[in-house]
Structure 1
Amino acid sequence: MVDRAHPLEEAIRLEAVYKAFVPRGRSARPLLALDDVSFAARPGEFISLVGPSGCGKSTVLNLLAGLTRPSAGRVVHHGRPVTGVNTEVGYITQDDNLLPWRSMLRNVEYGLELRRVPKDERRRRAREFIELVGLAGFENHYPHELSGGMRKRAGIVRTLAYDSDVVLMDEPFGPLDAQTRVILQDELLKLWELRRPTVLFVTHDLVEAIALSDRIITFTCRPGRIKREYEVGLRRPRDVFHIHDLPRFRELYDALWDDIRMEIAAT
């Protein structure tokens, strides 16, 4: 783990990254997913990646998690190249990925168990996080006994309890209804404020990107290139329920939508 009292200047960096996938079959041409992508994130920064479907946003997360390797360029986590599975980052996907044979409490404990945190300590931390998202009383319920929103909360706190300095989030609220999404956005920001990990957040929802982020990076259609970067510039803590009322919100939303609209029209 990185000592947050003495953080490095950058938490993550992509340097001139290209990623091509080779489909099966000898005659198949490589599919270029990312084309010369470079950016960095400071410790504690919350960055959203937005762009058309298939533009390589999820590929960026998989590179940082070490689930795939760049075809060219470098992927760096706290000054060290990522050359294999990166167990120091947390990863939250659209699916909650809870283990069906474990209770919610034991699911939240799971990452701490892998780190060999003593049982009493990991149970205390798991209960603390469960209470923070309003799930106290459901500790002994199994995933099939929980609603979609409850499972999503459990999945998020399982990752945050792991105490990673970098958290990757791939459309974590995508399958949820609009009301539940906003509530979970608010809860995510409150949890993030506790420890301020660096977050890289993939979303198609421009409102969500503005509400959560310090910075937003837009991507072109495939092959994904960085089109533009935006500093959100809204004070924290954020009120996600009324963020639409701010003049800066409308300004950012219109600029982001122009970027995305132009890319969709070009496909």
Structure 2
Amino acid sequence: MQQTTESVRFDHVYKAFVARGSEPVLALRDVTFQARPGEFVSLVGPSGCGKSTCLNLLAGLDSPSDGTVAHDGDPVHGVNTSVGYITQEDNLLPWRSLRGNVELSMELRGVPRRERRDRAQEFIELVGLAGFEEHYPHQLSGGMRKRAGIIRTLVYDSGVVLMDEPFGPLDAQTRVILQAELLRLWERSRPTVLFVTHDLVEAIALSDRILVFTGNPGTIKRDYRVDLPRPRDPFHIHETPGFGELHDALWSDIRVEIEHARGVS
């Protein structure tokens, strides 16, 4: 694998979906961006603008119609097992305990039993789930299941983590708590993160950069650098100097796209 200063690269990427008997529908149009090692990059924009499609292309779950998607300098061809993927659903295996679910990715990689047990326990304790190791998913709250899903991916220790609205279904209080925990876990090893969200406050609290997508077909309208100091406290991010100006700029960009899609002049 060649050396690169980019963990992720999208180079003039187009993606069209074709349904039987229908004309192709263009989801992505000329998407170009890079993410450096250790960057936390959020993708925001109107619904249906192709944000999740970008994650699926990098994960190798789909392929671009044109252009190149690369991971660590190599084009992605087929399923990319070198990235972690956290979806909106926790996707915990119901027949496995919390500990068994957290250990799963390491087990698939052939990590020795003692090593994966110790590493899983470390992460379980980091997110406050000690004492629930032998509980099954149906015995855990929504927030606890989200914590388990996150550490199951982060314990895999991949250099790139994809997150598709992982906190979307949760109540506001639990979301902020998990944002703080995610930042604390991310700071430990600094993987590159591509994070899809509709929550602009969440994007600002977490990110180094925020990519604003246009409406369908999605392309990148603006690339914002988040210069707010780290470490950040999601509970008080509104009080950080510069937050309001950045939030207003982001919302202004996205509002134009939403109104355009609705035909509002």
Q: TM-score range by the shorter chain?
A: over 0.9
Compute the TM-score of the two structures, normalised by the length of structure 2. Answer: 0.97
Q: CA deviation at 1:246?
A: 1.9
2: CA distance, partners of 1:57 / 1:262: 17
Equivalent of 2:41, from 47, 50, 64? Answer: 47
Match status 1:29 vs 2:23: yes
Aligned structure 1 segments of 4 or more residues deviating by more than 2 angstroms: none
Q: Which residue of 1 aligns with 2:14?
A: 18
Q: CA deviation at 1:23?
A: 1.1
Q: Which residue of 2 aligns with 1:228?
A: 222
2: CA distance, partners of 1:213 / 1:12: 16
Q: CA deviation at 1:8?
A: 3.4
Q: Gaps spanning 5+ residues in structure 1: where? A: none
- Residue by residue, what CA displacement relative to the aligned partner does 1:17-70 show, whole Å, maximum 9, x if unpaired? 000000122xx1000000000000000000000000000000000000000000
2: CA distance, partners of 1:262 / 1:50: 13
Paired AA for residue 78 in structure 1: D
2: CA distance, partners of 1:79 / 1:265: 38
> Residues 8 and 43 of structure 1 are in contact (CA less than 8 Å); yes or no, is this contact kept in structure 2?
no
Match status 1:215 vs 2:231: no
Q: CA deviation at 1:160?
A: 0.1
1: CA distance, partners of 2:193 / 2:32: 17
Equivalent of 1:128, from 122, 126, 147? Answer: 122
**Percentage of identical aligned residues:** 74
Q: CA deviation at 1:254?
A: 0.1
Paired AA for residue 71 in structure 1: S
2: CA distance, partners of 1:204 / 1:129: 28
Q: CA deviation at 1:16?
A: 0.2
2: CA distance, partners of 1:196 / 1:61: 19
In structure 1, the residue corresponding to 2:115 is in which secondary structure? helix
Q: CA deviation at 1:237?
A: 0.6
After superposition, residues 62-211 of structure 1 pair within 5 angstroms as: 62-211=56-205
- Residue by residue, what CA displacement relative to the aligned partner does 1:125-149 show, whole Å, maximum 9, x if unpaired? 0010000000000000000000000
Question: What CA RMSD, in Å, does the superposition of the two structures yield over aligned residues?
Answer: 1.1
In structure 1, the residue corresponding to 2:212 is in which secondary structure? strand
Q: Which residue of 2 aligns with 1:9?
A: 5
2: CA distance, partners of 1:112 / 1:47: 26
Match status 1:58 vs 2:86: no
Compute the TM-score of the two structures, normalised by the length of structure 1. Answer: 0.96
Q: CA deviation at 1:247?
A: 2.8
Paired AA for residue 55 in structure 1: C
In structure 2, the residue corresponding to 1:188 is in which secondary structure? helix
